[in-house]
Structure 1
């Protein structure tokens, strides 16, 4: 099942409140025992065709997000310790980003243009403030109106956790930050727990998932055993890749967040870093290992000098659907945006 099939199956689910969204996101993330084709984030970061999003509502989007990044967290066994972030090109770039510091302002403005199967551009504006508020719009005007009227989206614990994990990595404690980023939604696989405690955490998460499906009148997925070995490792890195991208695409103009994400990506085994040129600017391509995406492809292109995201290309393994998103990130002030100075 790919993400659009899942959305179709959940088209009658009503939109939940912010707390229900977070609970659904955390529980449904553990519903599947294996990763599937692509990484999907909420609409404000990666916008699927508007008809699909409108049809299914926020709960379906939450389900799509968590299922495709399903997995757990860092295993407790000493033989499965987290990889170390060595002095790789990404770590060197992170150091340069930190040395340059964050530009003046009190918010990050992210403009993304998504090209779907029809190649028509779908424009989205997101303002993430230093206070953790978020404003969105599909044009400069709608974003300006939202900010001027104070129509911020409710802050979620998940957003706060991924930002905190990125900053922790930027400031040196990469191992601890890696665990925090991987478990930003849940600790279903039991970070640092005994085998018995980890099994209980997994069972509790499965039970919560089943309850959510029952609540919305959907077939309850069959329970799955807690993943182990290579399957567990792939799920761990799937979680890390997706959650770190969420932090980057929300708040890329914050140098601490950006540097931390780069350091965390440097810990993903088999991540391929290549060189490219985009519109005359030197760039790096970050290609996620296909195994952590269920055989799909996700290539993130960033500026080689400042680490800002430029483009993401996602291809589903099951349907071969391909999506391209172009990104622009700026440091701004909330007052300027409210006044229409974007």
Structure 2
């Protein structure tokens, strides 16, 4: 088993002890992660030279195999008729970022991710991710390989981040409830779960030995929706966070999650916001620290007591041009 396979296995272990996820989403995201080696930390959002951290691409909760089922004409996970009132600190910061009309430099976001596995068997490492504004994604663990990866056209983008970025932008300028639904379902190729999701969920449970699986309750759906919304939003910070508008959209979306709390803090002498997300069925939590003025992430830590796994990381996020990176100038 190579390093990437080992890391994928660790991420799957984390995923398996968390919340419920549609069978289709589990399979699809698994394929996407093996194919894309998505950023596992939160290169969340960036700005020019930002630091951020991990678990951003950590899998959505799984565990019992339960998952959202279609409700009426809405087949997405945990649809709600309206978005709840948002956390005022995140909403206020999002408003400030939305008002920033400065021209965005470059045509891509470069994320240098440093992963610190504090408890676990996978070695710490540094990863290089390049997300272009056009939706392409390039990855390597060797800095001098990134230009060659681009030159060879090894684009690993599969549309997930493009859909997520669109949802974040919609959260800024459009209907927030609609944007929530978009982000929750951004993992699906069609932007919504495929037909028969509930039937497949029930069948999966039967195969696992559950004789008479129970249908999901409204509480189940709300919990699952919150988990999906958080995980997908944080993932999008990796791909589009170099744009203040995308950061603003992600902040608005995450501000509506009941399991997310925000407090003022200071990190490295700068004013920050410490965001704690408890959107899993066990005691797993993610702590994300962002700059209180720019929304740029500074650090993130994912801790799962049940698995004995703790992973933290930092990111350097900058706006670049693909041409410069391809030429080795970065």
TM-score (norm 2): 0.73
Does the alignment pair 1:234 with 2:201? no
Residue 121 of structure 1 and its aligned partner are, at CA, apart by 3.8
Residue 256 of structure 1 and its aligned partner are, at CA, apart by 2.4
Q: Which residue of 2 aligns with 1:322?
A: 310
Q: Which residue of 2 aligns with 1:100?
A: 100
Q: Which residue of 1 aligns with 2:55?
A: none
Residue 337 of structure 1 and its aligned partner are, at CA, apart by 0.9
Q: Which residue of 2 aligns with 1:26?
A: 25
For the residue of structure 2 that corresponds to 1:181, the secondary structure is helix
How far apart are the structure 2 equivalents of 1:226 and 1:126? 40
Structure 1 pair 80–264 and aligned structure 2 pair: CA distance change class (3 A): closer
Q: What CA deviation, in whole Å up to 9, does each residue of 1:232-265 have, x standing for no partner? A: 2211100000011111122210222211111101
Residue 170 of structure 1 and its aligned partner are, at CA, apart by 1.8
Q: What CA deviation, in whole Å up to 9, does each residue of 1:54-106 have, x standing for no partner? A: xxxxxxxxxx83554974389669x9644334471111111222222452111
Does the alignment pair 1:130 with 2:133? yes
Q: What CA deviation, in whole Å up to 9, does each residue of 1:152-187 have, x standing for no partner? A: 22x313222212111111213211000111122359
Q: Which residue of 2 aligns with 1:4?
A: 10
1:44 to 16, 38, 45: 38
For the residue of structure 2 that corresponds to 1:117, the secondary structure is strand
Q: What CA deviation, in whole Å up to 9, does each residue of 1:244-300 have, x standing for no partner? A: 1111122210222211111101111141101222222221111012x5353211111
Structure 1 pair 274–235 and aligned structure 2 pair: CA distance change class (3 A): same
Q: Which residue of 1 aligns with 2:173?
A: 171
For the residue of structure 2 that corresponds to 1:273, the secondary structure is strand
> Contact (CA 8 Å) 1:297, 1:317: kept in 2 or not?
no
Residue 341 of structure 1 and its aligned partner are, at CA, apart by 1.7
Structure 1 pair 136–75 and aligned structure 2 pair: CA distance change class (3 A): same
Aligned residues: 284
> Contact (CA 8 Å) 2:136, 2:155: kept in 1 or not?
yes
Instruction: After TM superposition, list the pairs within 5 Å mapping 1:127-276 onto structure 2.
Output: 127-153=130-156, 155-186=157-188, 200-204=196-200, 220-222=207-209, 224-276=213-265
TM-score (norm 1): 0.70
Residue 311 of structure 1 and its aligned partner are, at CA, apart by 1.1
Q: Which residue of 2 aligns with 1:91?
A: 91
Q: Could you list the runs of 5+ residues in structure 2 that have no partner in the other structure?
A: 1-8, 17-21, 30-35, 42-57
How far apart are the structure 1 equivalents of 2:12 and 2:26? 16
Structure 1 pair 128–222 and aligned structure 2 pair: CA distance change class (3 A): farther
Residue 220 of structure 1 and its aligned partner are, at CA, apart by 4.9
Q: Could you list the runs of 5+ residues in structure 1 that have no partner in the other structure?
A: 11-22, 31-41, 48-63, 192-196, 211-218
How far apart are the structure 2 equivalents of 1:82 and 1:75? 15
